[in-house]
Amino acid sequence: MYTAASFAAGFVFGLGLLVSGMANPAKVLGFLDLAGAWDPSLALVMAGAVAVGAAAFAFMKERKRTLLGAPVLLPSPRRIDRRLVLGSLVFGVGWGLAGICPGPALVLAGTGSAKGLIFLAAMIAGNRVFEFLEKRKRPVAAPAPHA
């Protein structure tokens, strides 16, 4: 059930990216191009997503178990450190170069787009570079807290 729910969430996420136009890198770059002909669509995508998301996270706030009985595993760190900011800046540069972030990269790969597959391969290589650098720093590194 847990795995099936995970597939469903990914599937619905992918449909949302397609409907919203965010699976189209040209449209994402149109949002990031403030000085050009600016397409504000991405801001409304975020607004729509956060409106629904906020209700769900509020519903789950005090709960210890999900509706499937699984434990709720939400990150609790609140400290804004250099690692978070620098990592996000590096991500933003890559995002600005191609207009592709991890979700759309997988959707693009699913369309069979050669450019999407190349981007995905490079992104996975980037994940491995991260793991390699982390392992060299601390032999038993804890996984980075997510979000």
Residues 117-146 that bind another protein (CB under 8 A): 118-131, 143-146
Question: 89 or 136: whose CB is closer to another protein?
Answer: 89
Residues whose CB is less than 8 angstroms from the CB of residue 5 and which lie 6 or more positions away in sequence, other chains included: 68
**Within 91-120, which residues bind another protein (CB under 8 A)?**
91-103, 105-111, 113, 115-116, 118-120
Residue 66 near another protein by CB under 8 A: yes
Angle (CA) 103-106-109 rounded to 5° is 150
In whole angstroms, give the CA distance from residue 43 to residue 22.
11
| Least gap, CB of 69 to another protein (angstroms) | 10
Contact 102, 123 (CB under 8 A): yes
Length in residues, the chain:
147
**Within 14-43, which residues bind another protein (CB under 8 A)?**
14-27, 29-30, 32-42
| Least gap, CB of 114 to another protein (angstroms) | 9
| Least gap, CB of 51 to another protein (angstroms) | 6
Cα-to-chain-centroid distance, residue 16: 13
Interface residue with another protein among 67, 138, 139, 140 (CB under 8 A) is 67
What's the first-to-final CA gap in the chain, in angstroms? Answer: 25
Give the three-state DSSP class for 146.
Answer: coil
| Least gap, CB of 94 to another protein (angstroms) | 3
Interface residue with another protein among 78, 136, 137, 138 (CB under 8 A) is 78
